[in-house]
A and B are shown apart, each in its own frame.
Chain A
């Protein structure tokens, strides 16, 4: 069986007057059900790598395969479609749509994909949020929730279309230790109980130590 993510000499250079290399020659493979930490000093290129893996950015050299499929020939539409069905993002800051309630935010990717009937979407959104301990807060808007609660809504949203891969960029970076622990436990649970693959950037070495594998990035390279 091929890996969920496979890269070969993945490179991203910004075409400035003095070209800036964000990511350089990264070759790696991540299997299904892996819980992977991406670590490294600030500015080393961790986020940049995650954006490439998440099809938000295009590499300038090297190859990236997701689910065995080469992403190079995909057009903008196909990349969007792949993000919708295969990937879930969790960023450091919550990034919810402010006008919609927690439940509506979770429903949005489902509505875009359009594979369920509306009542089922509503039900599934409720279940996802409840499983993350938010059953009391389904109909609150983001500004009525705490930072930790918002981050859990974001996790629920990343799970909306049941993607195999969750990419998290410092998901606990803006949370206190209690909320951090809670969010970490949820991510771990996704891998152990729901069979997801989670790739999470973290500065917290304790947390990284509790994950399956660590990819250390220095100056855009695996180090």
Chain B
């Protein structure tokens, strides 16, 4: 073994208890950092997964990002006309067949067209405002957020035809209606139609469970007096990360606003970044504290071993060897702490993954803590620990290397 290594070991071994405290300091820092990272990353992944699962990856609606050019602007070569009153367009995606067949040709995933209209659901004198969504059950099942979440009835009941409606369980209880009851839907056009409740879903998203009613597309078109119209195309991609590119292409071609889920949730995703910054700041602070422990012990050793430093220098060890010696001791403590900390972190993460709890509000769902297992957490925490150990070792090492052996030899004799 290299000489410097041998000497470093005797120094560390000679201060067993203090070394142990320093190692444990680093280990606790590394361990908690790892467990915290696993938990925070897990929460984040879980959150993003839910976003991605419940939302369309790309949502094309019959809106435009900028106001449509008015015919007058085309007719007269003026730069801009202000105060023009826009023509009252019939809303909806124009030429839906062309749009869907174009999408069909290249989208790497599934999509469904629908017509969403605002209305009121009425049942025995109670009324609830609702988004009435007309869908084609076959296509919808590829993108729907509700397919798997039925409490009573099922999604396929809609495909059977007839005047059926699917509503959330919260809406049902607010209406006082149950499975099989017939409710009345009133559209904003003032048209009325009766539907039989063929399914009750519970997705856990309150806005959806309370405010959405699914009917067949043609029924929605009749209700809003817009035959063949659609106003939304929702897309689910095989790879959700490609959503921005797909949205961009669809918007450029179709001219309608196409929003990727990342754009729709920009502020939430930004908040996640902030959360990560906070987390790594905390990890850095923990490591700084662990670094103080290392600094402390290496300083103590260099003071205690001043005589040995003088001996080694008089024997012919250059200053660089002395620096390396104490730096090595600091890093060795950091490395031992990292290894121990990785084990501790793993154990704590595992223990956290076993914790189960009930969500109080519903009282029925048993949930685990969301945990992300990632080697990266271990690498980052260890890198932080080794980095702070290196700095904490280097500072006293540099001072020790500069010691004047003559002063020490004089002082000792």
Contacts and interface: CB of A to CB of B under 8 A. Distances in A.
Interface of A: 47, 51, 54, 56-57, 76-77, 80-85, 87, 89, 91-93, 95-100, 108-109, 111-113, 157, 169-170
A99 B3 CA distance: 13
A99 B11 CA distance: 8
B314 A83 contact: yes
Interface of B: 3, 7, 10-11, 13-14, 307-308, 310-321, 405-406, 409-410, 412-413
Given A51-B406, A56-B406, A93 B412 contact: yes
Nearest to A77: B318
A87 to B, nearest CB: 8
A207 B188 CA distance: 121
A76 B318 contact: yes
B316 A83 contact: yes
A83 B314 CA distance: 7
A100 B10 contact: yes
29 contacts: A47-B410, A51-B409, A54-B314, A56-B313, A56-B314, A76-B319, A80-B316, A80-B318, A82-B316, A83-B315, A84-B316, A84-B317, A85-B316, A91-B413, A93-B412, A93-B413, A95-B307, A95-B311, A95-B314, A97-B7, A97-B10, A108-B3, A108-B315, A109-B316, A111-B3, A112-B315, A112-B316, A112-B321, A113-B316
B14 A99 contact: yes
A89 B406 contact: no
Contacts of B413: 47, 91-93, 169-170
Contact of B10 (A77, A99, A157): A99
A49 to B, nearest CB: 12
Contacts, number: 71
Contacts of B10: 97, 99-100
A109 B318 CA distance: 12
A48 to B, nearest CB: 8
Contacts of A97: 7, 10, 308, 311-312
Nearest to B7: A97
Nearest to B405: A56
Given A77-B320, A81-B316, 5 more contacts: A57-B406, A80-B316, A97-B312, A100-B10, A108-B315
B410 to A, nearest CB: 7
Contacts of B308: 97-98
- Most chain B CB within 10 A, of A57, A84, A93, A95, is at A95
Contact of B317 (A80, A82, A99, A170): A80
Contacts of B318: 76-77, 80-81
Contacts of A99: 10-11, 13-14
A92 B320 CA distance: 27
A106 to B, nearest CB: 11
Contacts of A157: 315
**Among all A-B residue pairs, the 8 with the closest Cβ atoms:** A84-B316, A99-B10, A80-B318, A83-B316, A111-B3, A92-B413, A77-B318, A95-B311
A102 to B, nearest CB: 15
Contact of A80 (B7, B307, B313): B313
A170 B409 CA distance: 13
Contacts of B316: 80-85, 87, 109, 112-113
Contact of B315 (A77, A98, A109): A109
A84 B410 contact: no
A54 B319 CA distance: 16
B314 A112 contact: no
Contacts of B312: 97, 108
Nearest to B13: A99
Nearest to A89: B314
Contacts of A111: 3
A1 to B, nearest CB: 25
Contact of A91 (B13, B14, B321, B409): B409
B302 to A, nearest CB: 15
Contacts of A170: 413
Contacts of B320: 77
B299 to A, nearest CB: 19
A155 B10 CA distance: 23
B374 to A, nearest CB: 42
A44 to B, nearest CB: 14
B62 to A, nearest CB: 78
A124 B93 CA distance: 95
A81 B318 CA distance: 8
B294 to A, nearest CB: 21
Contacts of A87: 316
Nearest to A98: B308
A100 B8 CA distance: 12
B315 A84 contact: yes
A32 to B, nearest CB: 20
